[in-house]
Structure 1
Amino acid sequence: MKSLSMQNPLCSLRKSSNSKSLKSIALVTGTRAEWGLLYPLAKALRDNHIFNFSLLVTGSHLSQALGNTYKEIKSDGFHITAKIPILQDSSSTQLDIAKSLAATITAFSQYFLQTPCDMVILLGDRYEAFGVAIACANLNIPIAHISGGETTQGANDEYMRHCITKMSYLHFASTEIYRRRVIQLGENPSRVFNVGSLAVENIHNTPLLTQAELESTLQTPAHFLDSFCVLTFHSTTLESTNPTQEITLILQALLKSPYKILATKANADSGGSLINEVLESYMRKYPQNIVLCASLGRVLYLSSVKLAKFVIGNSSSGLGEAPILNTPTINIGDRQKGRLMPHSVISITPNPEEPQAYVQEVLDSINHLASKDFAPKNISHPFGNGTTSGQIIEILQNTLYHGTINLKKAFYDIEP
């Protein structure tokens, strides 16, 4: 076998600006929400002639139970370079996640040994991205990381994100606060950029459906979308709360409200399948009040959030996409604690050990959204002006064709 330095030319410090061959960039996506953000960047990378672009699809995209969302990627007009299965079991226990993480490291190591690339782009904080980052770090492949510096104190994504930051070479943060946090982790400011959020660009450039078009596509009951909310709830992997109990109490509260419920299934996380079982049970019991989708996909989800009276749950989209679409959010629990909270977000942390109080606090929040005291219009957000992809591509081009990559990164100390 060739040594790693021979397999990967980036083990050397110098980058030649005179190279006639295209530099190869691989973009990895493992979840539906991630693809919703990555779409504009993937499109820009695919349509330019600067790089040899590869799209690697893994994780829940390849799960039938979670909607086979790789089909959405294909319907968006993309050629999938490689499908790399990693999920070990649909039950999503902690052991299943550990096995999937190990499978990710092994599978992507094998892929990159057979198909070397000059840089890998990863987004976010999930275990799929964490596993790919470990594989890249071990093979001396530079990583460009999107959305570093954010925090999610209620999930183990928190430390996975920061680990990915330390393994990455380029950093594309979505706000100035997040950029400074990456530097605080010891990354040199010359490699850390505030490029805004891909969500802004995605929303600005995606034709959204009308209510009639959404009703026809989802085949909802009559008048369902006249007054509805979007529910997305995931397990909180660093908390001891029972996800089954919490989603049950949230549904009980929503069923007492005047709003219909358009729900999406939970991610392939520990406890996610338990949440989905409750959602499926309630959907069967209340078919006129609840529509459940394994995955809405990028266009349907954004259209739904735009038309909804509010978003509820603990998804990052309630703090990111919803404010951009001028839709208020009820954020429940600590899963997103530490992220920037636009003024359109109401955060509550009800105690599931007190069921009646939990239900009432959710109902009070819903009533508050409908009150005259809470009427956000032209919601402001700190996520940039929608030029993120162009900024990222320019930085990638300068780095790969005109810069020097030194993977022996010195820790950047902030002056006291």
Structure 2
Amino acid sequence: MAYPLRAIGKYWAKRLPATFHNGNSSPKLTFAMRKICVVITARASFSRVKTVLTAIDAHPGLALQIVVAASALSERYGNILPHLKEENLPVTAVIPNMLDVENPTASAKTTGLAVIELATFLANHSPDVVVTVADRFETIATAIAAVNMNIPLAHIQGGEITGNIDDRIRNSVSQLADLHFTATEKARNRLIAMGLPPHKIHFTGCPSIDLIYHHKTIEFDPYKIYGGVGSQPDLNEPYLVVLQHPVTTESNHSKWQIENTLNALAPLDMPVIWFWPNADAGTAGTAQGMRAFRERHFGLPFHFFRHMESRHFIQLLKNCACFVGNSSVGIRECGALGVPAVNIGTRQCGRERSPNAVDCAPGTTAIVSAVRYQLAHGHYPPSGLYGNGGAGQRIAEQLATVPFILKKHILSA
């Protein structure tokens, strides 16, 4: 009789033979560690699955494979390789497939290159399941490669709604996936309504919220660690954190939209910590607007960072007076922290949110009004909408125990 290996440590699990004998021909113990391949294509995706990676790596029945690709390898957009090394997480492969993603053509070609290179990796490393994250355009490359090679696909953060091309990418990946881990109960119900089998959809909470619950208050100097450009305002005073990405379906308006936000915050005369946007169609316009403004208004208490390690970023969020922009950070992490957030434009339209986030149009007057309202309101009660910690561990446990059954093997009732 064969029994799954559970009691011995991962060190020995990777080194002992797969079958033990008691002196005769009948085996006493067999095991096969499940190989879990997680593909990370952007800095935001890394923070979304950081606790999943650590939980998989620590699990005695799982062997972690990490593939890093696209903008996650770029210094410009936040190279995650040093952070993986610091966490002692294994990088199995790097795929430098990103073109200069400033237009839809480059985005499509970047995705195509990812499919080609991922297919080679999957053929050589034979994972038992491939894990893909959220809704960025590169995510569908992971799904296409895995599905065409008959490798089960697990999708984290499916079933959500936003206001741009991400919806189509996310829903397409969900339809291709064999296993689902949702951040909210409503997202799970939405996947069921899309016709996906309920027993394959697990409400685990959002792994990025785990970081809030793991967070310990730390003192650090962001200017010394991360450099950046601009003045160095005193962060003991009330300050704003801003992260605004181009809207992929409105890429021609990205420069105008970022200029409106910059012009709205300048008269407030508050310290502002500003982060570089993602690699998306329209990023060139956003970058041009930020650089031109910085040159004209160098004396303002604005500081611009490219990226920041999650524990430091969470500390900045926790202490800020208000978050401004169109990143899901304002809804997920800020909701869990109770930090007031101003959500600009359509990028997060439809996403579930807590009372901490107020919406406004991408116009200067509307942004000024919304920010002043949130500053006057102050902090909100923390929300558990996207979870209360432990999502990474729950996902790892599911990956270790659930049957990996391809959709084509599931028979209708």
Superposition TM-score, scaled by structure 1 size: 0.86
Cα deviations by residue, 1:112-156 (Å, 9 ceiling, x for unpaired): 111111001111011121111111011011111110000112x21
1:306 to 318, 321, 324: 318
Task: Give, in whole Å, the separation in 1 of the partners of 2:191 and 2:277.
Answer: 29
Output aligned runs, 1:10-409, within 5 Å.
20-89=31-100, 91-153=101-163, 155-210=164-219, 213-214=221-222, 216-218=224-226, 221-224=232-235, 226-239=237-250, 242-287=253-298, 288-350=300-362, 358-371=363-376, 374-399=377-402, 403=403, 405-408=405-408
- Alignment check: 8 A CA contact 2:64 2:90 kept: no
Matched letter for residue 64 of structure 2: F
What is the CA distance between 1:235 and its match in structure 2? 1.3
- Alignment check: 8 A CA contact 1:152 1:338 kept: yes
* Matched residues, number: 381
Task: Give, in whole Å, the separation in 1 of the partners of 2:161 and 2:69.
Answer: 24
The answer to which structure, 1 or 2, has the higher relative contact order (CA under 8 A, 6+ apart) is 1
- Alignment check: 8 A CA contact 2:233 2:271 kept: no
Task: Give, in whole Å, the separation in 1 of the partners of 2:43 and 2:382.
Answer: 25
What is the CA distance between 1:215 and its match in structure 2? 5.5
Q: Which moved more, 1:92-101 or 1:285-294?
A: 285-294
What is the CA distance between 1:20 and its match in structure 2? 2.2
After superposition, the Cα gap between the structure-2 partners of 1:69 and 1:277, relative to the gap in structure 1 and judged at 3 Å, is farther
What secondary structure sits across from 1:171 in the alignment? strand
Task: Give, in whole Å, the separation in 1 of the partners of 2:252 and 2:341.
Answer: 22
Task: Give, in whole Å, the separation in 2 of the partners of 1:349 and 1:411.
Answer: 47
Tell me, which stretches of 5 or more residues in structure 2 are unaligned?
A: 1-28
After superposition, the Cα gap between the structure-2 partners of 1:161 and 1:248, relative to the gap in structure 1 and judged at 3 Å, is same
What is the CA distance between 1:309 and its match in structure 2? 0.8
Task: Give, in whole Å, the separation in 2 of the partners of 1:19 and 1:184.
Answer: 40
Task: Give, in whole Å, the separation in 2 of the partners of 1:195 and 1:74.
Answer: 27
What is the CA distance between 1:55 and its match in structure 2? 1.0
Cα deviations by residue, 1:367-411 (Å, 9 ceiling, x for unpaired): 11122xx34432323122212122112211212xxx361431659
Task: Give, in whole Å, the separation in 2 of the partners of 1:152 and 1:369.
Answer: 22
Task: Give, in whole Å, the separation in 2 of the partners of 1:397 and 1:240.
Answer: 41
What secondary structure sits across from 2:250 in the alignment? coil
- Alignment check: 8 A CA contact 1:86 1:104 kept: yes
RMSD over aligned CA atoms reads 2.0
What secondary structure sits across from 1:230 in the alignment? strand
Task: Give, in whole Å, the separation in 1 of the partners of 2:74 and 2:166.
Answer: 21
Tell me, which stretches of 5 or more residues in structure 1 are unaligned?
A: 1-17, 351-357
Matched letter for residue 293 of structure 1: F
- Alignment check: 8 A CA contact 2:213 2:388 kept: no
What's the % identity of the aligned pairs? 24
Matched letter for residue 88 of structure 1: L
After superposition, the Cα gap between the structure-2 partners of 1:314 and 1:411, relative to the gap in structure 1 and judged at 3 Å, is farther
What secondary structure sits across from 2:240 in the alignment? strand
Q: Which moved more, 1:319-328 or 1:60-69?
A: 60-69
Task: Give, in whole Å, the separation in 2 of the partners of 1:241 and 1:412.
Answer: 46
Task: Give, in whole Å, the separation in 1 of the partners of 2:48 and 2:366.
Answer: 31
What secondary structure sits across from 1:334 in the alignment? coil
What is the CA distance between 1:240 and its match in structure 2? 6.5
What is the CA distance between 1:258 and its match in structure 2? 2.8
